[in-house]
Amino acid sequence: MMQARAGIREVHFLPFNPVDKRTALTYIDANGNWHRVSKGAPEQIMSLCNCREDVRKKAHSVIDKFAERGLRSLAVARQEVPEKSKESPGGPWEFVLQNISKTPSLPI
């Protein structure tokens, strides 16, 4: 976790909540550029990114393939924040989909 945050300064953290089904972080990179990232339920993140219908269909196809293998999916979005303000809406969101491999729990 520390390596992932090396060279960045957190400006604002929005904790996960069950209504929005996502979390977000606004940060400043080592070059002084502002960014925002959000992760959460794929449908919520696709809405945040205003994904086109063809992108949504492709994402759902990938999610279904992950599910067939027992994998859960999270979506991640990123954006630049050129206004350098945590209140700024920022630039357009970029959509990324990732699978989560979870080792099954063993009964105790």
Q: Give the number of other Cβ atoms within 10 Å of residue 36's Cβ.
A: 22
Q: What's the gap between Cα 42 and its chain centre?
A: 9
**Lowest-pLDDT choice from 7-11, 84-88, 93-97:** 93-97
Ramachandran assignment for 43, one of left (phi > 0), alpha (psi -120 to 50 degrees), beta (any other): alpha
In the chain the domains, ranked by start, together with CATH numbers, are 9-100 (3.40.1110.10)
Confidence grade of residue 96 (pLDDT, cut at 50, 70, 90): confident
2-47 pLDDT, tens per residue?
566 778 999 999 999 899 999 999 999 999 999 999 999 999 999 9
CA atoms of 35 and 29, how far apart (whole Å):
8
> How far apart (Å, rounded) are the C-alpha atoms in residues 78 and 38?
6
